Amino acid sequence: MGSASGVNGAESNRETLAEAAFLRRLPEFMALAADEVVVANLDVTTAIGIALGAKVKLDAARDEFIEHLRHPELTLIDALEDHAWALHHAQGRYQIAVTPVYCPAAKLEVARLLRQTLLRSLQALEARGAVNPARWKALRPGRSRVNLAMDLNILAQVHMHYAEHGRDTDGTPIEQGLAASTELALALDLSKLILAAFGRRNSKPEIAAAEDMRNRVFTKLLRSYDEGCRCMTYVYWHHDEGNPALPSLWHQRRRKRARSAEKAAGDPPVTEASSAALSGAVPSTPGPRAHDGAAAAASGSEVVESTNGPFLDS
């Protein structure tokens, strides 16, 4: 069994390889016009695996391409592996961009406890008439992270106000019951941290940029793969046995659609023909109908009897 460090090392090597391929081919991706970019509307991970597997077959058939094709686009085919690894890198960046970014759970728990502490301190001061509860009426109860961040900011500001300007019932400055300055600083820091994480989570420009780059890399991979498919199909068209045809990049998606269609269609309706086929009987070929002959006789036409049925010549 391989060690965890070995697995992590292999993953790191793959990512290094993917990033190097991405940077090497970056000018090609950026040179694509907007109307040339194809949307990656398939399982990207599956497509990468298919492309890397196809590169082995294409390398084995390289001499055949040179011998039988007039102007094979070998440069484009050779770039397939780079394009596959570059797509691996671009897909990773896209996944990072669309994955929600939240404040760490431990920080959120501290923030919730601190909110509760600050609010109870003010409520205790309110009970003895030392503070005005209207100053924190803007609190937004609920489990929303944004509400929590706003509440921490409001409560910290109220505490700081009364620490500087507040007077107790006897007219002396409020000395007992207010939070310490370290707690107030922590509340403000947590408020900023939670709001910053929420802002990054909803960064639509970042998501759009990552998606556009992924589509650009996919477009180049698609062109390389299509060129390989064309060459392979032409050279091995008449090879019934051992034809190394390349699979479709949409192979898995088509299979899923076919299974969904079969499931939605259900069992076909039972007809007379299908019932006869199941029972082993051979359905009889319908002959000419009686009223057809009567109509022909009435019009003066010659009635010709057919023994071959209505779909074959006599």
What was the pLDDT predicted at 51?
A: 93
Residues 216-253 have pLDDT tens digits of 999 999 999 998 988 888 888 766 655 567 888 875 55
Rounded Cα distance between 88 and 22, Å, is 9
Q: Are 140 and 150 within 8 A, CB to CB?
A: yes
DSSP secondary structure string, 228-267?
A: HHHHHHHHTTT--SS--PPPPTTHHHHHHHHHHHHHHH-S
Residues 6 or more apart whose Cβ sits within 8 Å of residue 7? none
User: Looking at residue 282, what DSSP letter applies?
Assistant: P
Q: Are 206 and 97 within 8 A, CB to CB?
A: yes
Residues 252-280 have pLDDT tens digits of 554 455 555 555 555 555 444 444 443 44
Question: Could you tell me which of 90, 51, 67, 34 has the C-alpha nearest to residue 227?
Answer: 51
What was the pLDDT predicted at 296?
A: 43
Question: Could you tell me which of 155, 162, 157, 118 has the C-alpha nearest to residue 140?
Answer: 155
Residues 115-140 have pLDDT tens digits of 999 999 888 888 878 888 888 877 87
What was the pLDDT predicted at 281?
A: 44
Question: Could you tell me which of 228, 180, 173, 210 has the C-alpha nearest to residue 56?
Answer: 228
